[in-house]
């Protein structure tokens, strides 16, 4: 088995546009720029190709299956630039309910590797537009790295993040649509989640505003010690970092893992009052 290589990671912080064709054209440009800067993987914001707060009717109209036209279009971009891409889109519900708020990773050959539907819905916008995903996505291997997926509000639940850590994740990718009023998430919670689980967290946020929200930017990459490797400002930006394979190996041998006592944590699966 060949040695695990360093990973070039790009976070695309961008404002939303209402036209899917324009969103794909901008993704094409961002992918070209990311690849030129040495990225192997590009992570886009939550619902990056359609916009986030667009209303339940628009979400229903734009929703498609995981192998639909958007997946084909992103697959072609990924092949052209030899770049893996994680993007957000509304996914059609198999039973006809509200669509899922979904993300999908496509590799540099245009192959769909995995998809995930947001499990923790935030506020009225999420709840009126989407159905909650039924399960956390399993950790998956890519180029020797173990990757996990979450979406925005999910990362604020330590249990959801810990599940990925228990599966051996090295890096958790979090497409996001976080607002300026919640800067504590990229500044405090994302580094904390990385530190307590001894892995990297890549938090790719939107910027700008739409008719409902003012998005806060501050896309962040946090390392296994809770340090902020890189953090964007408020405006549109492409953040590119390189994650070292040897640091990945060292991270799993340190921290709290040997001292855990799972038998004490069973109440975490119950309601807050313990019933």
Distance, CA of 179 to CA of 105 (rounded, Å): 24
Do 27 and 85 touch, CB atoms closer than 8 A?
Answer: yes
Distance, CA of 13 to CA of 30 (rounded, Å): 10
Chain-centroid distance of CA 3 in Å reads 26
Half-sphere exposure in the Cβ direction for 202 (13 Å, CA): 29
Active site residue 195: no
Any idea of the CA torsion for 212, 17, 85, 90, to the nearest 10 degrees?
60
Active site residue 64: no
Do 70 and 20 touch, CB atoms closer than 8 A?
Answer: yes
Distance, CA of 150 to CA of 173 (rounded, Å): 6
Radius of gyration (C-alpha) of the chain in whole angstroms: 18
Q: Which of 44, 91, 118, 195 is catalytic?
A: 118
Q: What is the DSSP code (8-state) at residue 108? A: T
Active site residue 259: no
Q: Which of 91, 152, 156, 195 is catalytic?
A: 152
Q: What is the DSSP code (8-state) at residue 184? A: H
Q: Which of 205, 147, 197 is nearest to 179 (CA)?
A: 205
Q: Which of 14, 44, 46, 195 is catalytic?
A: 46
Q: Which of 138, 212, 144, 218 is nearest to 176 (CA)?
A: 218
Catalytic sites, residue numbers: 46, 118, 152
């Amino acid at each position: 088995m060949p040695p695990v290589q360093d990973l070039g990671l790009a976070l695309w912080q961008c404002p939303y546009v209402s036209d899917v064709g324009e969103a794909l054209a901008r993704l094409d440009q961002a992918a070209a720029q990311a690849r030129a800067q040495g990225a192997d993987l590009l992570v886009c914001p939550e619902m990056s190709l359609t916009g986030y707060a667009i209303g339940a009717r628009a979400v229903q109209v734009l929703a498609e299956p995981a192998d639909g036209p958007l997946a084909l279009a992103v697959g072609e971009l990924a092949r052209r630039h030899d770049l893996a891409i994680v993007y957000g889109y509304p996914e059609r519900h198999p039973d006809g309910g509200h669509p899922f708020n979904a993300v999908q990773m496509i590799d540099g050959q245009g192959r769909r590797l995995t998809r995930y539907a947001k499990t923790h819905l935030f506020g009225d916008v999420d709840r009126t537009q989407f159905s909650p995903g039924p399960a956390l996505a399993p950790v998956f291997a890519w180029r020797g790295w173990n990757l996990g997926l979450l979406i925005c509000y999910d990362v604020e639940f330590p249990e959801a993040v810990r599940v990925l850590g228990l599966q051996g994740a090295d890096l958790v990718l979090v497409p996001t649509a976080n607002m300026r009023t919640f800067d504590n998430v990229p500044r405090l919670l994302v580094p904390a989640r990385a530190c307590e689980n001894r892995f990297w967290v890549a938090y790719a946020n939107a910027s700008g505003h739409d008719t409902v929200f003012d998005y806060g930017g501050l896309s962040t990459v946090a390392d296994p010690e809770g340090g902020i490797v890189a953090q964007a400002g408020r405006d549109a930006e492409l953040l590119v970092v390189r994650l070292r394979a040897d640091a990945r190996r060292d991270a799993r041998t340190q921290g709290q893992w040997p001292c855990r006592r799972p038998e004490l944590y069973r109440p975490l699966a119950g309601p807050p009052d313990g019933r």
